[in-house]
Amino acid sequence: MSKAPFYVTTPIYYVNAEPHLGTAYTTVAADAIARYRRMTGHDVRFLTGLDEHGQKIAQAAEEHGVSPQEWVDSIAPKFTEAWRMLDISYDDFIRTTEERHKRGVQAFWQKLHDDGYLYQGHYEGWYCVPDETYWTADQLEEPGICPQCGREVKFIREDNWFFKLSEFQQPLLDFYAANPAFVQPETRRNEVVSFVQGGLRDLSISRTTFSWGVPIPFAEGHVTYVWIDALLNYITALGYGSDDPADIERFERYWPADYNFVGKDIIRFHCVIWPAMLMAAGIEPPKSVFAHGFLLTKGEKMSKSKGNAQTPASLVERFGVDAYRYYFLRDVSFGHDGSISMESMVQRYNGDLANDWGNLCSRLFNMTEKYFDGFAPAAPDLSRETDEDATMRAIAGKLPETYEDHMSRLDYSAALESAWELIKYANRYIENSAPWTLAKEGDTERLAAVLYNALEAVRISALFTAPVMPATSAEVWRRLGLGDITAVDDILQAAEWGGLSEGSPVTKGESLFPRIYDEV
């Protein structure tokens, strides 16, 4: 039987600056669910990429004395290098300047044009070049100022092509009612429904004042409005618009997407315009658009326009990749705004990673080397297990179901907390069982049972921390003499108690998470 497909996407990021903590947050979250779904046996397709068209890019290129293509080519490596640094396991990376994307966008517009969903008209209104966003006068909270980024908007007049978005007000409301999981979390859904109930205006989908974009195939001098161009990446990356049988098969296999991950500031594009466009083209909308909250520093949203955006590299240099990934998915509730700080990151690192996880592995691997020459002892006789033995087996036994429940709702923090229940209990188990005392007393049988049980708890814990901390979990399995943890495609089977074989070589190695003592 073939594996069930699972398709997850990040928004494609605009190439006006290098990646910051906000873009990395979305990407790490998408990577964690992609990794987990591979471990549950799915055929995963994980897409990310870059949005490379628009007036702002054309202006930036002109300011730097290069062509727009040369400009985006100089920025793109900053993203691929950042995702490599953060151990992002994407399956595809799309750039909107690629021919496959242009071909798909033009095929899409031709389809909507042929079916009567486009018309030519005249646009007058306000436009924010930095955000590439149209605003009506009544949407401007302050005259002449973009309500989203706070910068100046310009009044423009253009002859554009329009999409009949207004015709989809009731179809969208019917779709939301029939598919309550489409907009997540629920607070965002209420916002979207309320917006659509207020009425929809037809949408300008072309620009004529510059040429850096995908040409409209039936309208000379018109290029696709950059936001609409960007939305189509989710299907063009799968091969939409291609006649190649492999592309057609890929699109049919993976679409509709299980998750389009976005920030809450672009929810209307993704939850109103995007599904309406797909309906017009006769394509099923994605199963879910999950709009997460903002990362806040000192109470403000982290963004390039506010000048408070940081790059992931500085934090990775200090804490390491896995600690970085862990902090943002453990300390911030995905779907809500979350305050982040260096102080809380150090506390989480020292408490959860150094004291709990790192200390458990270090002391256990050291004792295995000291008392059993670095080889896992035999599994104990379950008929002779103590209450504490049984409790740890029970915690490990319920972990797969609990973890799945949390991950299916993208509650990364709760999923990690469920894994930490086993890690913390294993630490208490070692303290209460006192292997050092058992060794001194010569109780080799009980000593072997305690160490085997603790090693099993570590083996299983590594499975459920792997989606968030892949390198650390791979290292733990390596030190346990096990195979490649990324090859696990049946986590339920892999997590069954007793999977560690007698005689498996155990290596103590260096500390996984050395404590941080310096001041923040």
Averaged pLDDT for residues 335-356:
93
Calculate what percentage of the chain has a pLDDT beyond 70: 94
pLDDT range class, residue 145, cuts 50, 70, 90:
confident
CA quadruple 78, 82, 85, 89: dihedral positive or negative? negative
Q: Does pLDDT of 3 surpass 90?
A: no
Q: Which residues of 112-145 are buried (b: 16+ CB within 10 A; e: fewer)?
A: bbeeebbeeeebebbbbbbbbbbbeeeebeeeeb
Q: Does pLDDT of 323 surpass 80?
A: yes
Percent helix / strand / coil, the chain, rounded to 5: 50, 15, 35
Residue type, 366: N
Q: Could you tell me the two tokens for 280?
A: 């017009």
Averaged pLDDT for residues 142-150:
75
State pLDDT tens for residues 233-247: 999 999 999 999 999
Q: Does pLDDT of 520 surpass 70?
A: no
- HEC profile for 403-466? HHHHHHCCCHHHHHHHHHHHHHHHHHHHHHHCHHHHHHHCCHHHHHHHHHHHHHHHHHHHHHHC
How much is the pLDDT for 134? 67
Q: Look at residues 91, 92, 94, 118 and name the one whose alpha carbon lies nearest to residue 106.
A: 118
Q: Could you tell me the two tokens for 505?
A: 């070589």
Please say whether the beta carbons of 396 and 422 come within 8 A.
yes
How much is the pLDDT for 126? 76
* Partner residues linked to 339 by β-bridges: 296
State pLDDT tens for residues 30-39: 999 999 999 9
Q: Could you tell me the two tokens for 213?
A: 């974009």
Calculate what percentage of the chain has a pLDDT beyond 90: 81
Q: Which residues of 456-494 are buried (b: 16+ CB within 10 A; e: fewer)?
A: bbbbbbbbbbbbbbbebbbbbbebbbbeebeebeebeeb
pLDDT range class, residue 17, cuts 50, 70, 90:
confident
- Tally of CB atoms within 10 A around 361: 27
pLDDT range class, residue 55, cuts 50, 70, 90:
confident
Averaged pLDDT for residues 279-293:
97
Averaged pLDDT for residues 464-470:
98
State pLDDT tens for residues 360-390: 999 999 999 999 999 999 999 999 999 999 9
Q: Does pLDDT of 519 surpass 90?
A: no
Q: Does pLDDT of 118 surpass 80?
A: yes
Q: Where do we find the tokens 């486009």?
A: 118
pLDDT range class, residue 1, cuts 50, 70, 90:
very low
Q: Does pLDDT of 459 surpass 60?
A: yes
